[in-house]
Chains A and B, each alone.
Chain A
Amino acid sequence: MALLEVENLQTHFRTPDGINRAVDGVNFHVNAGETVAIVGESGCGKSVTAMSILRLIPEPPGKIAGAIRFNGKNLLDASDKEMRAIRGNEISMIFQEPMTSLNPVLTVGRQIGETLRLHQGLSAQAAEDRAVEMLKLVGIPEPQRRVKEYPHQLSGGMRQRVMIAIALACNPKLLIADEPTTALDVTIQAQILELMRDLKHRVGAAIVLITHDLGVVAEVAERVIVMYAGRKVEEAAVGPLFRNPRHPYTQGLLGSMPKLGSSLTGEETRLAEIPGLVPSLKKKIPGCVFASRCPKVTDLCTQYAPALEEKAPGHVAACHYALREEVVAA
């Protein structure tokens, strides 16, 4: 049994001008000790998927349907009290926007300590000591001084690391990291990725990593889920996904990646974009969700939605024209 199983997840928001189908029938699983990355265009539903797992979606206007099984238990049936005991303890999350998720009037020591006192019953002193230790682990210099500071006194990258410290404090079984390293320089980033690996080895934790940084994905993920407009459009082990992306969206995504060293090789062209806009999630899309922007679109695509099917062992994609292994091999 997988540690986390997400089954036909549908998270919809009621808005004045219609239902926003932010996540629309997503299935995936994460095994213990595994790192799964979720990538996809801004607004495609990555954070909403993550927040749904922790039941942090405001209901209403949100509504979650489907099943989210953690250790076999459907979290959608859990009581609020049960969820509070799970959050920050067995499952923890690093939020995308650190400044809004930290409390501006509490010192960072208090905020890290709070989690430990709540879930592990540590005394005030023990919690503070552990907070200092955690700040050190995430590479914040002078942790003794920093632990007494307020969020506004820290740099952006330090705030992000405080969030990471809070998330790691209780050795969670499942860590959901939403853009955990965007505000970090590459050296600190390497250190944080190392910490996440360490959590995996020490407690066999699973990690769901949401990021736009494909360099980070290549480095730490074992499996990758590509989302587009609230759906999963491709999934594969990290190697095949980068080397042989099957879905035109994934191909476009990998193609718009800027490469370091471009000024030296003279391949300084304009960055490739995927032209067009993500379709509105408020209207039912009859055919393929990517049709409005796909360079390979045909009539078939706009009429019939492609099924998510296995194109090679462990490699699924939702595209009528994505080649299957036999065809590729021939």
Chain B
Amino acid sequence: MSQPLLQVNDLKKHFPIKAGFLGGTTGYVYAVDGVSFDIAKGETLSLVGESGCGKSTVGKALLRLFPLTAGQVVLGGDRIDDMPNGTLRPLRRKMQVVFQDPFSSLNPRMRVRDILAEPIRNFGLAKDAADLEKRLEGLMDKVRLPRDAINRWPHEFSGGQRQRIGIARALAGEPDLIICDEAVSALDVSVKAQIVNLLQDLQTELGLAMLFISHDLAIVEHMTHRVAVMYLGKIVEVAPKRSLFGAPKHPYTEALLSAVPVPMPGAARERIILKGDVPSPINPPKGCRFHTRCPYAFDRCRTEEPQLRPVADALEGGHIAACHLHDRPAGENPLSGAKGAQLLAVGSA
């Protein structure tokens, strides 16, 4: 296989906790604590996991929105984690982002036209004024906004329309990689379908790679190639999608899949309810970080941290998980076999 477009190796981001305004550092939030993954050209990797587990922090770290605590990031063959800030410009074009909260990322004093023209001008992509105009119209068409809306201000749009402006801006720079952080969550299903189809088309057309951060597992399943599941700053499972949904190999993934609401009144899945509070990222549990809430935890989990390793009975290759259960014989491993279909089965409430 050729070299992946993006390689992330043991990425860490720890936020210092200050005592008061001028006080010293009293500890760290271990928001991202050693994650590794890669994304090939034209591939979508989804990042899923509990709120606060560090997904957006991974995205922001890749974009160099703040300095990394540790780790290497290689994009298109170049180390970008240690690039000085002044040389980040080409990187900014190659990697674009669509954030969760579109309004706060759109400049309220710029018309849509200028918001979209800015990256095109900055990176010198338009040949002339007519080309710029053509590109702007093309972008509006792509995200299904009426062309005449281009002279309006961000506050004149609905939430979902603003999200589409954010997507159009990300596409304007013709990136190699787009980081979508809950980019389609605020859209209605039919516009969501349009945008998802659009992103997939661009992927085939331009070989666009995507890091897709989302809580919407049905959409993730639909559009991703592989899924990485995060829990409390670490990746606990990575797999091609059919393998992940068909045969999840981490207890947290199992619980996650079982909790997705069913869009039919009166129908429901058998939910695996996780007990206990979400542990603190300042003081993560020793051993397996999930042991305080895992329904299968045993002694070893409390002392020894499980490593990400290939699992034996996955549906597809490239399926890795971090759980001690896989050291047990199949008969004593509640995660053995392909339980996905059974987990996702819908019964009446």
The one of A39, A155, A219, A280 in contact with B51, judged by C-beta atoms closer than 8 angstroms, is: A155
Given the complex, which residues of A lie within 8 Å of B341, measured CB to CB? 261, 264
| Minimum Cβ distance to chain A for residue B283 (Å) | 9
Q: Does A298 contact B (CB under 8 A)?
A: no
Q: Is the CB of B280 within 8 A of A264?
A: no
A-B contact pairs, 25 of them (CB 8 A): A41-B190, A42-B158, A42-B159, A42-B160, A42-B187, A43-B158, A96-B186, A98-B101, A141-B278, A142-B280, A155-B56, A185-B215, A186-B217, A190-B259, A214-B189, A219-B261, A238-B265, A257-B189, A257-B263, A258-B219, A260-B218, A261-B340, A264-B340, A271-B193, A274-B190
| Minimum Cβ distance to chain A for residue B69 (Å) | 16
Given the complex, which residues of B lie within 8 Å of A17, measured CB to CB? 148
Q: Is the CB of A99 within 8 A of B101?
A: yes
Docked pose: A259 CA to B215 CA in angstroms:
14
Docked pose: A272 CA to B160 CA in angstroms:
18
Given the complex, which residues of B lie within 8 Å of A142, measured CB to CB? 280, 282
Q: Is the CB of A97 within 8 A of B52?
A: no
Docked pose: A273 CA to B242 CA in angstroms:
24
Given the complex, which residues of B lie within 8 Å of A261, measured CB to CB? 221, 245, 340-341, 344
Instruction: Identify which of A48, A188, A271 gathers the most chain B CB atoms within 10 Å of its CB.
Output: A271
Q: Does A277 contact B (CB under 8 A)?
A: yes
Given the complex, which residues of A lie within 8 Å of B159, measured CB to CB? 42, 47, 96-97, 179
Given the complex, which residues of B lie within 8 Å of A215, measured CB to CB? 260-263
Q: Does B2 contact A (CB under 8 A)?
A: no
Interface residues of A in 207-260 (CB under 8 A from B): 212-219, 238-239, 242-243, 252-254, 256-260
Instruction: Identify which of B51, B187, B268 gathers the most chain A CB atoms within 10 Å of its CB.
Output: B51
Given the complex, which residues of B lie within 8 Å of A270, measured CB to CB? 197, 200
| Minimum Cβ distance to chain B for residue A37 (Å) | 11
Q: Is the CB of A42 within 8 A of B215?
A: no
Q: Is the CB of B278 within 8 A of A139?
A: yes
Docked pose: A263 CA to B341 CA in angstroms:
10
Residue of B nearest to A279 (CB): B146
Interface residues of B in 50-102 (CB under 8 A from A): 50-52, 56, 100-102
Instruction: Identify which of A47, A217, A252, A273 gathers the most chain B CB atoms within 10 Å of its CB.
Output: A273
Q: Does B271 contact A (CB under 8 A)?
A: yes
Residues 259-300 of A, flagged 1 when their CB comes within 8 A of B and 0 if not, give 111111000101111100100100000000000000000000
Q: Is the CB of B182 within 8 A of A260?
A: no
Residue of B nearest to A13 (CB): B156
Q: How large is the interface on B (under 10, 10 to 19, 20 to 34, 35 or more residues)?
A: 35 or more
The one of A39, A186, A218, A262 in contact with B264, judged by C-beta atoms closer than 8 angstroms, is: A218
Q: Is the CB of A213 within 8 A of B261?
A: yes
Given the complex, which residues of A lie within 8 Å of B192, measured CB to CB? 212, 256, 271
Docked pose: A264 CA to B212 CA in angstroms:
21
Residue of A nearest to B257 (CB): A260
Docked pose: A241 CA to B113 CA in angstroms:
40
Q: B: which residues have CB within 8 A of A?
A: 15, 48-52, 56, 100-104, 144, 146, 148, 152, 156-161, 164, 181-182, 185-194, 196-197, 200, 215-219, 221-222, 241-242, 245-246, 255-257, 259-268, 271, 274, 277-280, 282, 340-341, 344
Given the complex, which residues of B lie within 8 Å of A212, measured CB to CB? 160, 186-189, 192
Q: Is the CB of B101 within 8 A of A186?
A: no
Interface residues of A in 163-193 (CB under 8 A from B): 179, 182-190
Docked pose: A312 CA to B51 CA in angstroms:
42
Docked pose: A187 CA to B49 CA in angstroms:
10
Q: Is the CB of B215 within 8 A of A273?
A: no
| Minimum Cβ distance to chain B for residue A242 (Å) | 5
Docked pose: A99 CA to B159 CA in angstroms:
13
Given the complex, which residues of B lie within 8 Å of A40, measured CB to CB? 188
Q: Does A100 contact B (CB under 8 A)?
A: yes
Residues 29-44 of A, flagged 1 when their CB comes within 8 A of B and 0 if not, give 0000000000111110
Given the complex, which residues of A lie within 8 Å of B185, measured CB to CB? 182-183
Docked pose: A67 CA to B309 CA in angstroms:
63
Q: Does A15 contact B (CB under 8 A)?
A: yes
Given the complex, which residues of B lie within 8 Å of A219, measured CB to CB? 261-262, 265, 268
Docked pose: A187 CA to B48 CA in angstroms:
12
The one of B197, B257, B263 in contact with A214, judged by C-beta atoms closer than 8 angstroms, is: B263
The one of B144, B222, B344 in contact with A271, judged by C-beta atoms closer than 8 angstroms, is: B222
Given the complex, which residues of B lie within 8 Å of A273, measured CB to CB? 190, 193-194, 197
Q: Does A157 contact B (CB under 8 A)?
A: yes
Residue of A nearest to B255 (CB): A187
| Minimum Cβ distance to chain A for residue B234 (Å) | 16
Q: Is the CB of A264 within 8 A of B242?
A: yes
Residue of B nearest to A96 (CB): B159
Docked pose: A272 CA to B181 CA in angstroms:
23
Docked pose: A243 CA to B101 CA in angstroms:
33
Q: Is the CB of B51 within 8 A of A260?
A: no
Q: Does A156 contact B (CB under 8 A)?
A: yes
Residue of B nearest to A222 (CB): B265
Given the complex, which residues of B lie within 8 Å of A189, measured CB to CB? 215, 259, 261
Docked pose: A139 CA to B268 CA in angstroms:
23
The one of A100, A187, A262 in contact with B101, judged by C-beta atoms closer than 8 angstroms, is: A100
Q: A154-B52, A184-B51, A280-B146 given; name 11 further pairs at CB < 8 Å.
A: A42-B161, A155-B51, A157-B215, A187-B255, A189-B259, A216-B261, A217-B263, A258-B221, A261-B340, A261-B341, A274-B190
Docked pose: A60 CA to B224 CA in angstroms:
45
Docked pose: A13 CA to B102 CA in angstroms:
22
Q: Is the CB of A99 within 8 A of B188?
A: no
Given the complex, which residues of A lie within 8 Å of B261, measured CB to CB? 186, 189-190, 213, 215-216, 218-219
| Minimum Cβ distance to chain B for residue A60 (Å) | 13
Given the complex, which residues of B lie within 8 Å of A253, measured CB to CB? 188-190
Q: Is the CB of B50 within 8 A of A187?
A: yes
Docked pose: A252 CA to B161 CA in angstroms:
19
Known contacts A100-B104, A253-B189; is A190 also within 8 Å of B271 by CB?
yes
| Minimum Cβ distance to chain A for residue B38 (Å) | 21
Q: Is the CB of A188 within 8 A of B51?
A: yes
Q: Does A68 contact B (CB under 8 A)?
A: no
Instruction: Identify which of B159, B200, B245, B262 gathers the most chain A CB atoms within 10 Å of its CB.
Output: B159
| Minimum Cβ distance to chain B for residue A147 (Å) | 14
